[in-house]
């Protein structure tokens, strides 16, 4: 028999070796498929978590903000503040409390001239939903009780729900000084208002405040309407999270950044108020939910303490009511709170009482009826039914 050939089929039956280029292409395809699966998984998880891409980038079109069943139908777009109160608004069935806004966007039906009447001292109150009086009627707000208890005075309520300190500052500069107030009160909710300052979106698109080489920088101005956002960021949760507005949501909880921006904002308010010859007071508060949790949340208490120390180090008039509110909460509990953790009629009355006492102990002196004003404050403190 002839000898078997060396190139027999048995010896060459294995698969042919692939070239390096084919192996690279195959690996690249696997990586692309894995990346696509990761993106799809991230997209699904983000959709489940956020529910609406607007929570990352802002609404695709202007729409009423909603929170816990409440529709903020009184919001209107503003190119510098992000949003403000709708002029001449009256509450409807979507708002479960009596709410009026005058023609200048101030809480209440009363209209105000650019200058206060003769013999009347004018206070301009700025703040977020606590100053605005969310979930309480027009005659149950801090501004109402201030005006009731300060003789020969009127109180203009510039509060807007969801505002941070930076937006309060801008509204004071753009609108507040034009009403020639005799005193400005800025009611700041710690720490939440400061968390908002660094974000470009909260409730709606808004200006973002940053510290850059020791100076205040304001980004996102003019505030864009959401329809100006790129197509992809309005439709893809993953793209919005990676390339849209996600970074401010992460940065907003950096306490060091909050403190630096806080210092710069307060210094600017002090400078602008001095330029207009208007004394001002910073009133620090918190909401009823946060004040309830302070005893059991040492990390949150540490953040709050750091913010309070930073404020105390500045040369400004400060009324810190957080400890007072914590004490009142321990004594009275839910009687001081609305269903969604704003201060109730009685809570607002107690806050106003403390502000009145502080103002009357300083440069703000009511010219007449001090005994009558003091009597009302006693009623607020001793009888929940009347406050």
User: What whole-number distance in Å separates Cα of residue 27 and Cα of residue 33?
Assistant: 10
Q: Count Cβ neighbours within 10 Å for each residue of 364-376 and write b for 16 or more, e otherwise.
A: bebeeeeeebeeb
Q: Are strands 215-219 and 208-212 parallel, antiparallel or unpaired?
A: antiparallel
Please tell me the total number of residues recorded for the chain in this structure: 387
Q: How far apart are CA 158 and CA 306, in angstroms?
A: 28
Residue by residue, pLDDT tens for the chain (387 residues) are 555 555 555 555 555 666 777 777 778 888 889 988 988 998 898 888 777 676 666 554 556 566 656 678 899 999 999 999 999 999 988 788 999 999 999 999 999 999 999 999 999 999 999 999 999 999 999 999 999 999 999 999 999 999 999 999 999 999 999 999 999 999 999 988 988 999 888 888 899 999 999 999 999 999 987 655 677 777 788 887 777 654 444 444 578 889 999 999 999 999 999 999 999 999 999 999 998 887 778 888 888 999 999 999 999 999 999 999 999 999 999 999 999 999 999 999 999 999 999 999 876 654 433 434 443 444 665 444 444
User: Is 135 part of any domain?
Assistant: yes
**Residue 384 neighbours by CB distance under 10 Å:** 15
Where on the phi/psi map is residue 56: left (φ > 0), alpha (ψ -120 to 50), or beta?
Answer: alpha
* Count of structural domains, the chain: 1
For residue 31, tell me if it sits in a domain.
Answer: no
Task: Provide φ and ψ at 112, rounded to 5°.
Answer: -130, 140
Assigned domain for 197 exists: yes
- At 58, list the tokens: 């802002």
Backbone phi, psi, residue 20, to 5°: -55, -35
pLDDT for 370: 43
Q: Which domain holds residue 95?
A: 52-382
At residue 101's C-alpha, the angle toward residues 98 and 104, to 5°, is 170
Beta bridge partners of 285: 189
Nearest to 294 by CA among 257, 324, 264: 324
Q: What end-to-end distance do the CA atoms of the chain give, in Å?
A: 118
Helix (H) or strand (E) holding 234: none
**pLDDT score at 90:** 95
CA atoms 199, 125, 361, 378: torsion sign: negative
20-32: string of b/e by CB count within 10 Å (b at 16+)? Answer: eeeeeeeeeeeee
**Cα 53 from chain centre:** 19
Q: In sequence order, what DSSP letters do the residues of 17-81 get, joined into one string?
A: PPPHHHHHHHHHHHHHHHHHHHHHHHHHHHHHHHSSTHHHH--SS---EEETTEEETTEEEETTT
Structure tokens at 121: 């001292």
Q: How far apart are CA 186 and CA 167, in angstroms?
A: 11
The answer to whether the bond into 212 is cis (omega within 30° of 0) is no
Report yes or no on 41 lying in a domain: no
The residue assigned the tokens 């950044």 is 257
Assigned token pair, 253: 């909880």
- Domain containing residue 355: CATH number: 3.40.50.1110
Instruction: Mark 118-146 as b/e (b = at least 16 C-beta within 10 Å).
Output: eeebbbbbbbbbbbbbbbbebebbbbbbb
Residue 12 lies in a domain: no
Decide if 57 is inside a domain: yes
Q: Is residue 108 part of a domain?
A: yes
Would residue 16 count as lying in a domain? no
280-285 and 183-189 as β-strands: parallel, antiparallel, unpaired? parallel
Question: What are the tens digits of pLDDT across the range 34-70?
Answer: 988 988 998 898 888 777 676 666 554 556 566 656 6
């Amino acid at each position: 028999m002839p000898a078997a050939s060396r190139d027999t089929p048995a010896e060459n039956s294995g698969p042919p070796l692939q070239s390096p280029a084919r192996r690279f292409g195959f690996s690249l395809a696997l990586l692309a498929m894995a990346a696509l699966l990761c993106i799809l998984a991230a997209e699904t998880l983000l959709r489940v978590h956020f529910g609406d891409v607007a929570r990352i980038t802002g609404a695709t079109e202007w729409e009423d903000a909603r929170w816990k069943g409440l529709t903020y139908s009184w919001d209107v777009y503003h190119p510098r503040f992000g949003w403000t109160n709708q002029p001449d608004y009256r509450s409807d069935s979507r708002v479960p409390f009596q709410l009026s806004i005058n023609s200048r966007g101030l809480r209440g039906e009363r209209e105000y001239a650019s200058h206060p009447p003769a013999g009347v001292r004018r206070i301009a109150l700025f703040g977020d939903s606590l100053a605005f009086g969310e979930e309480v009627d027009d005659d149950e707000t801090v501004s109402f009780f201030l005006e009731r208890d300060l003789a020969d005075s009127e109180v203009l309520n510039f509060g807007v729900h969801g505002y941070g300190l930076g937006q309060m500052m801008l509204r004071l500069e753009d609108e507040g000084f034009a009403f020639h107030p005799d005193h400005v009160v800025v009611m700041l909710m710690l720490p939440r208002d400061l968390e908002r300052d660094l974000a470009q979106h909260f409730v709606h698109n808004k200006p973002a405040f940053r510290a850059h080489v020791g100076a205040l920088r304001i980004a996102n101005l003019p505030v864009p309407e959401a329809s100006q956002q790129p197509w992809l960021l309005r439709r893809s949760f993953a793209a919005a999270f990676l390339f849209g507005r996600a970074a401010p949501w992460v940065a907003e909880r950096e306490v060091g950044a909050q403190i630096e921006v806080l210092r710069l904002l307060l210094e600017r308010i002090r400078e602008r108020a001095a330029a207009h010859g208007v004394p001002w007071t910073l009133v620090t508060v918190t909401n009823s939910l946060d004040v309830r949790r302070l005893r059991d949340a040492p990390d949150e208490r540490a953040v709050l303490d750091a913010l309070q120390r930073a404020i105390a180090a500045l040369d400004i008039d400060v009324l810190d009511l957080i400890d007072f509110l914590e004490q009142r909460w321990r004594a009275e509990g839910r009687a001081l709170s609305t269903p969604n953790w704003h201060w109730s009629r009685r809570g607002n009355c107690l806050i106003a009482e403390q502000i009145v006492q502080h103002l009357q102990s300083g440069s703000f002196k009511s010219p007449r009826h001090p005994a009558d004003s003091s009597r009302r404050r006693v009623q607020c403190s001793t009888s929940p039914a009347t406050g």
